[in-house]
Structure 1
Amino acid sequence: MSSATPASRATAATRTGHLRTGGAELNWHTDQAATIVVFVHGSFDDSSSWEKVVPLLPPGVTAVRYDRRGHSGSSAPGRAGSHEHAGDLVAVITELAGGSAHVVGHSYGALIALLVAARHPELIRSVLVHEPPALSLLSGDKEGEPLAIEAREHVIEVAALIEAGREEEAVALFAEKVGFGPTWRELFPPAERAMLAANAHTFLAQFRDPDHYALDLDALAAGRVPITLTMGTDGPAVVRRSTAILAERLPAATLHTLTGAGHAPHLSHPTEFAAAVARHLERAARA
């Protein structure tokens, strides 16, 4: 069961509120217009990560952003694995988007978007995902498997640091070695780093989820949901490789490269990322 609580505060352009679903309460924001796009953030992060992109979207786009369960303003009772996050996205689309929406996902949020697109194509008008960490695709790949092994070793260390209560160290290790590279602090000022550390506990559920990297490629390939994959030229090699393989496995998908961007173009290159979203929506409208 899910239900949307009326907005407790609002402006002429923006509504905010809470959505109760699957035992959790999700904090959400929408900017009202015609075409509805739901944005799904990545690990450690929250809905504020889209703030640079939303004002650059084309006229007529409603941007729905929410904190995934356990992150910032959203609660997280019990298990919070990929299936629960997928259920939350279904609830957001059903309750806040009238049962049909375009979805934009970043990193782990991209995996959630693809999971829902495979299971519930009737809810998804299109999907744009940036560098989904589909590391299961790298098994047996000469170039990608060593990268996946190295990433897994770092992730194990990140989880151990979180379990030891050393959240800031965990964020720094994840950001530098797995997500964003040595210049990650330029993307995340001190307040944002504090937010990442406060959300670090959510990574443990993700880490322990046996279906963390699971994708139903057969369902995605057989479905009629338009898919755009984006990747940066300067991001982590492991997610660039997994994105490239995903593009090969989904021949109907569009692959768009963002020159100079890394794993977080919505933060580093918001104008270019918003333009990619706009082009994607135009293609989806013609599909």
Structure 2
Amino acid sequence: MEMADLGDVRLHYRIDGDPDGAPVVFANSLGTDLRLWDKVLPLLPQGLKFIRYDKRGHGLSSMPKAPYAMGALVSDVEKLCDQLNIRDCVFVGLSIGGMIAQGLAVKRLDIVRALVLSNTGAKIGTKEMWQERIDAVNAGGIEPLADPVMERWFSKRFRETGELEAWRNMLVRQPAEGYAGCSAAIAGSDFYTPTSGLRLPALGIAGDQDGSTPPDLVRETIDLIPGARFHLIRGAGHLPCVENPEEYAEVLGGFLKEVGHV
């Protein structure tokens, strides 16, 4: 296990694949850790360097006092990339990870050469909605929210499998303060204007049964970037990399080849 000391936070990260390969950085969703990508990585093209990390307040990373600003989450991965000397990466962000991806691309085009925005938006929900969730988590923890979250995350078919329990457990075992802190970051973020100024290769991925970031939101966001393309994974919810890793890896791998990363 690797930990990067970034000053106000220590991030748990993991590097897989070819240590000398072209870098691909992954940022995961609210309430998950870097294991979100476990099924996809073995299916991607060989010769790449895969960097995953747990954002602040999640997984094995440290938990500064909440609430967090999106700028802090972007700075965290920016510092991690600088510390690991990551340049010209393809950055894959899912949900809040996709917002972090947009923020980093706007700030540091020397780090990000191409962007994958998965199950995310330039703006997700409303401040009022997120404040209600923050208040609920602060009052009673994550457990009372877990079943509704599973319905938004996964298709009915997947929810009938035994694997659902593992993802539910991952969610409820995240620190409540970290979950609430990152919820505050989402609540305060609107990337419509900054993302519309981006000029780089970009791919949007959505699940047609996503109850958190519906396909229309993902499409609207990715369409802000001229020349970007969009792919819909049918029969999958908010985490298509879990429900259909084969199709997810095929689409992501194709994009990596298209942009000359492989």
Query: Please, what TM-score do these two structures have when normalized by structure 1?
Result: 0.79
Take 1:182 and 1:261, find their aligned partners in 2: how far apart are those partners? Answer: 9
Deviation at 1:131, TM superposition (A): 1.8
1:73 corresponds to 2:60: yes
Structure 2 CA distance for partners of 1:277 and 1:212, relative to 1, 3 Å: farther
Query: Over residues 121-142 of structure 1, what are the superposed CA-to-partner deviations in whole Å (9 max), with x where a residue is unaligned?
Result: 1210211111213336xxxxxx
Choose between structure 1 and 2 for higher RCO, CA contacts under 8 A separated by at least 6 residues: 2
Query: Over residues 218-251 of structure 1, what are the superposed CA-to-partner deviations in whole Å (9 max), with x where a residue is unaligned?
Result: x434433211111122222753221122233323
Query: Over residues 197-232 of structure 1, what are the superposed CA-to-partner deviations in whole Å (9 max), with x where a residue is unaligned?
Result: 121432211333476332153x43443321111112
The runs of 5 or more residues in structure 1 that have no matched partner are 1-15, 137-147
Aligned to 1:59: 46
- RMSD over aligned Cα atoms: 2.6
Q: 1:208 aligns with which of 167, 176, 184?
A: 184
Structure 2 CA distance for partners of 1:242 and 1:93, relative to 1, 3 Å: same
Aligned to 1:8: none
Contact 1:121 1:224 in 2 (8 A): no
Contact 2:115 2:201 in 1 (8 A): yes
AA aligned opposite 1:47: L
Contact 2:199 2:226 in 1 (8 A): no
SS in 1 for 2:32: coil
Aligned to 1:20: 5
AA aligned opposite 1:96: L
Aligned to 1:271: 246
AA aligned opposite 1:234: Q
1:31 corresponds to 2:16: yes
Q: 1:94 aligns with which of 82, 90, 104?
A: 82
Take 1:180 and 1:159, find their aligned partners in 2: how far apart are those partners? Answer: 22
Contact 1:22 1:88 in 2 (8 A): no
Aligned to 1:229: 204
Name the % identity: 24
1:45 corresponds to 2:21: no
SS in 2 for 1:164: helix
Query: Please, what TM-score do these two structures have when normalized by structure 2?
Result: 0.86
Structure 2 CA distance for partners of 1:162 and 1:210, relative to 1, 3 Å: closer
The runs of 5 or more residues in structure 2 that have no matched partner are none
Q: 1:247 aligns with which of 207, 215, 222?
A: 222
